[in-house]
Amino acid sequence: MRHALRLFVGLVIWMGASSSIFAEESKPFGGFQEVVLSVQDIETWKTFFTNAAGWELRHEGSIDGRLNEYWDLPDGVAITEALMANVGTETGFVRLVSISGAERAVIRSNDQSWDTGGIFNFNMRVKDMAAAREELEALGFQASTDPTEFTFGPFRVKEWIVRGPDGVRFALIERIEPVLEGWPNLRKFSRAFNSTQVVADIDSTLAFYRDKLGMEIYLENVGASAEEGPNVLGLPHNLTTQIPRTVYILHPDGLNEGSVEILSFDGAAGRDFSDRAVPPNRGILGLRFPVNDWNGFLERLSEKEIPIVAGPTALELKPYGIVNIVAIQSPEGAWLEFFSTSSE
């Protein structure tokens, strides 16, 4: 059902969700397990996630050399990584990857929220927005707007879309009321639970995720703001009522847990970064989804005529062990990887 947005948010949102990777064994894959950030300085991001977000380091070191071939990187490239996790959770990780020995552009360089291509941001809940803002601004993180408070249905929330090194954006969401339930591991920042892509053609992207990959719609919203004024996306205050936005959130099981959000603007056009959204470029490089039916998933890619851009191959992906992995891209360049610990 379509209804107007009173004030656009990441729509990411407000309901508690299970932390399990798969809701049903019958599904070929689950919501994303991790966000992959290609960064210049791993130590800077490790410090951020440990101190500001309250996360922990789960793994760090060099990677399986087969990843170089899988990503089609030049000879002589060296890759190190660190896997960060919200304490007490087994999904919604962020994998930091540093690649040396190759030219690396920033994927969404100096972008605006209405610029298309690649992955715009990923989302985490926050315990105390004021404290988070003070700490992040002291670290040099910036945003296009201040944290914005608004009401959506029965919920009152604050949201803040922050930009850090390497062009990485993330959205922080604080529930004001009613009291947030179902997130026992939320100390400072929660696990990553949603990720947004800004697209020019919402219909083709929706068809890709829903009709080809088989995801279910968790949320749909269409419309402009009811009033002019501040907004989390940094639109000019006098244009918020004149620029409708279309949003879908999708997930294999229709959940807001490792979900994909697609967003389009009607009346605001900018640059397109689709061609840059590939390894080894810097920024939010991609999302990784766990697969529980490897052969069935590959068959679906073939049946739906979804091109494979990397793999399939087998390599070690810590802490999961040896995995089969394959990469595809959305119609507007989002890099999506699917991995399985089983060959069947």
Report the domain count for the chain.
1
CATH of the domain at 134: 3.10.180.10
Answer for the pair 147, 132: CB distance below 8 angstroms, yes or no.
no
Q: How many Å apart are CA 123 and CA 173, to the nearest integer? A: 8
| Per-residue model confidence (pLDDT) at position 12 | 37
This prediction has a pTM of 0.91
Which residues does 207 contact at the CB level (< 8 Å), separation at least 6? none
**pLDDT band of 1, cuts 50, 70, 90:** very low
Which residues does 4 contact at the CB level (< 8 Å), separation at least 6? 222, 223, 224, 226
18-27, 178-187, 254-263, 303-312: least confident range: 18-27
Q: Which tokens belong to 82?
A: 């660190």
pLDDT at 15 over 50: no
Q: Return the closest-CA partner of residue 125 out of 19, 7, 263.
A: 19
Q: What mean pLDDT comes out for the span 152-177?
A: 91
Q: How many Å apart are CA 303 and CA 298, to the nearest integer? A: 9
pLDDT at 298 over 80: yes
Looking up tokens 């939320």, which residue turns up? Answer: 186
| Per-residue model confidence (pLDDT) at position 154 | 72
Q: What mean pLDDT comes out for the span 118-135?
A: 96
Q: How many Å apart are CA 317 and CA 314, to the nearest integer? A: 9
Q: How many Å apart are CA 301 and CA 278, to the nearest integer? A: 20
**pLDDT band of 27, cuts 50, 70, 90:** confident
pLDDT at 152 over 80: no
Q: Return the closest-CA partner of residue 147 out of 128, 167, 166.
A: 128
pLDDT at 169 over 90: yes
| Per-residue model confidence (pLDDT) at position 26 | 56
Q: How far is CA 93 from the centre of its chain?
A: 11
**DSSP labels for 93-162?**
EEEEEEEESS---BTTTT--TT-BSS--EEEEEES-HHHHHHHHHHTT-EESS--EEEEETTEEEEEEEE
| Whole-number CA gyration radius for the chain | 19
**Angle at Cα 170 formed by Cα 101 and Cα 332, nearest 5°?**
70
Answer for the pair 113, 143: CB distance below 8 angstroms, yes or no.
no
233-275: per-residue pLDDT in tens?
999 999 999 999 999 999 999 999 999 999 999 999 999 999 9
Q: What mean pLDDT comes out for the span 102-107?
A: 95
Domain that holds residue 266: 1-344
Q: What mean pLDDT comes out for the span 30-40?
A: 98
Answer for the pair 224, 237: CB distance below 8 angstroms, yes or no.
no
Q: Which amino acid, one-letter code, is at 70?
A: Y
119-128, 153-162, 200-209, 282-291: least confident range: 153-162
Q: What mean pLDDT comes out for the span 68-90?
A: 95
130-139: per-residue pLDDT in tens?
999 999 999 9
> What percent of the chain is predicted at pLDDT more than 70?
91
pLDDT at 222 over 70: yes
87-101, 141-155, 260-274, 275-289: least confident range: 141-155
Q: How many Å apart are CA 151 and CA 157, to the nearest integer? A: 6
